[in-house]
Amino acid sequence: MRIERMTHAGLDGFPEVLRVDYRSPKDGYADWTLVRPSERAELWVVCLHGHGSHGDQLYTRPDIRDWWLSRFLQHRVGILTPNLRDNAWMGPAAAADLHELLAWTRNQYRVKRFLFFSGSMGGTGNLIYAVLHPDDVAAAVALGAASDPASYRRWCRTQQGGVVHEIADAIEESYGDHADLYHRHSPLKHASKLTMPVYLAHGADDAIIPVDQSQRLANAMAGRPNFIYREIPSGDHDSPLADGDAFDWAIARLEA
């Protein structure tokens, strides 16, 4: 990974946040991430953005900023929020970039553990990355996430247009029509690799990512001591984002 520059991100109210521009070692793709260093160098949160957003979502979307960022700051963790090729749905290139980015962050800031905390596409990415590189993930929180890119893409195509068709386009752009890639990047197919603490939550009436995406993974992981699944009755796609227990549950397992 070639770092091209580090500058202040220019976010109102967050002068300490830096923007790091880099080139992917995989294909030279130009991308960026935001980093917020902390005196608690050993533990960082990785927060991946949702579909249609960018690496600054944690700081610019008011509800997520209020629900999540305040918790992160309270625990004095470092924060990494990658842009990660925009709407890549943790395809092979995005996963390779994130692996390099975590290695750079670990070396630059002496990080020992990464807690992944994200929702929607970001939560999906948490789960996918955790089965690809479990040694990089100390704990994973996935709120309103998909657990199987192949079946989720097929479901999106059965719907009446709208954002879910845009999501299907994005998934196909990242994965092509390669069945082996879909299988390799399926948390559901590789649930045995999710040995770290995992917290899932999903709205029962989610119209963007159907609840069965979490239900099937929850069934595959049932009975594990470091796993919890919460389903929100009548909840929509954004409902689990406000789950006030998710971060506390995950960090308690890392601080025990």
Whether this model's pTM surpasses 0.95: yes
Average pLDDT (47-60) is 98
Segment 87-98 mean pLDDT: 98
Whether the pLDDT of residue 8 is over 70: the answer is yes
Q: How confident is the model at residue 256 (pLDDT cuts 50, 70, 90)?
A: low
Q: What is the CATH number of domain 36-75+85-95+107-255?
A: 3.40.50.1820
Question: Residue 154 in contact with residue 146, Cβ under 8 Å?
Answer: no
30 CB neighbour count, 10 Å cutoff: 10
